[in-house]
Each structure stands twice: as structure tokens, then as C-alpha cells.
Structure 1
Amino acid sequence: MSITRIEVGPRMSEAVIHGSVVYLAGQVAKGDSVTAQTQAVLGQIDALLAQAGTDKTKLLTATIYLADISTFAEMNAVWDTWVSAGNTPARATVEAALATPDYKVEIVVVAAI
């Protein structure tokens, strides 16, 4: 099976396709709030999935990292309006120290093509 890499950088690729699965790197965005960052990150995920030839209806898993777990409800308010009803992925959400204090949320997804 071939491997296709999307937005290849010196350290990582934003997405990697192997077989009929696309693996996205953790997506982060700057913004003043968890709401703003979550909206931006989900937009980035939509764009990367489209480049891979798929979309959010084919999500298999999602892992969400929050810098502060007390923002869980705020993140979920955005997630719930974005995720495809009836096509929700297996998901985990955890509190974690992110790469910089500017980041409040990071999301990693895997999707079928």
C-alpha cells in the first residue's frame, strides 16, 4: 500500500493517508477563547479531510486535549454543532499541557476515506 503525505514539513506532515485511512496531526489555532480556538481547529480539520478526499462524516476517532478541563463544556458547545449527527467518532478528551500557553485546545482525528 502506498503512503501519501499532505502538507509535509521538516518535522511532521499535517495528514498521512495509508490505505483507506487518513491520520491527522494534532491541530491547534490561536484565539482568545476555547470557543474561538475550537472553531478554528475544526475548520482546519475540515480542510485537511477535504484534501485527503474525505470529510467529518467518516471520522473514526478523535482525541481532544484541553489545557484546562474546566473548559470542557465550552469546547463541547462548538464540537456538538460541528460533528455530524449519527456519525460521531469514538472520542476521548483529556487535560494536558499543550505546546505553548497560547494553545487552549488541540484535536487529533483519524478518518476513513
Structure 2
Amino acid sequence: MSIERIGLTHRWCDAAIFNGIVFLAGHIAEKTEGRSLTEQTEEVLALLEETLESAGSAKDLILSVQIFLTDISKIAEMNAVYDKWVAPGHAPTRATVGAQLASPGHAIEITAVAAKRSAA
């Protein structure tokens, strides 16, 4: 059994791949100063897509998504961005919760599990 890790640091990795399944770490916006939930959501989803690509996956292969919002009352604002991003016909299972995030200024954190693209 082999586990592949992408973006490995001492404390975490951006993704771990085992048995054709890609487990993504929680992704947060790198730029938060003065940025709205909409802007942070757009950035986080773009970062998720980059990590999926580097892991040999894609957003249409996402199986499950967990979304953490510091202000759950803004779920409609986040959904407006998410609904445009999710691959049509490939919506994953999803949970969205209100949460206090570890880093001040971050309005959203998203983690996911996806299938790895099959080798052709």
C-alpha cells in the first residue's frame, strides 16, 4: 500500500492519495485583508481546483465537500459562487457548517474528497 502526499509540510499536506481516492486538506484564502466572503470563496475554490489537478483529479470527480463559514448567515453569498463553480451534473455530497476558523480574517475553509482520474 502506497500513500502519495502533495504539498507535504511538517504539520500537514495539501492532499493525500490512497487507493485512487484524493483527500484534500482544508483550503483557505491566501489573501484576506479587506476581502469579502465572495472573493475568498472564489479564491478557495480556485486553490482547490489547483490541488485537485496536481493530484490527478478534477472538480467533476469530487465525491464530498465540507464547507466551514465563520458567518453561517452568509451561506447564500457563498452558494452564489459555489453554484457557478460546481461541475454541472457532478454535484458532490456536501455539508456546510458555521465555525470559528483558526486564522482571523478567514471567512471560509473548504475540504473535499475526490476520486483520482483513471489512467487511460
Deviations 1:50-104 (A, max 9, x none): 0011100000000000000011000000000000011000000000000122000
What count of residue pairs does the alignment treat as equivalent?
Answer: 113
Secondary structure class of the residue paired with 1:8:
coil
Residue identity opposite 2:49 in structure 1: D
Amino acid at match of 2:28: V
Question: Which residue, out of 35, 40, 60, partners 2:38?
Answer: 35
Alignment pair present for 1:63 and 2:66: yes
TM-score, normalised on structure 1? Answer: 0.97
Gaps of 5+ in 1: none
- Equivalent residue, structure 2, for 1:99: 102
TM-score, length-scaled by structure 2: 0.92
| Structure 1 vs Structure 2 CA RMSD | 0.7
Q: What residue in structure 2 maps to residue 2 of structure 1? A: 2
Q: Distance in 1 between matches of 2:45 and 2:57?
A: 14
Detail structure 1 runs of 4+ shifted over 4 Å in the superposition.
Answer: none
Fraction of identical pairs, as percent = 48
Which runs of 5 or more residues in structure 2 are unaligned?
Answer: none
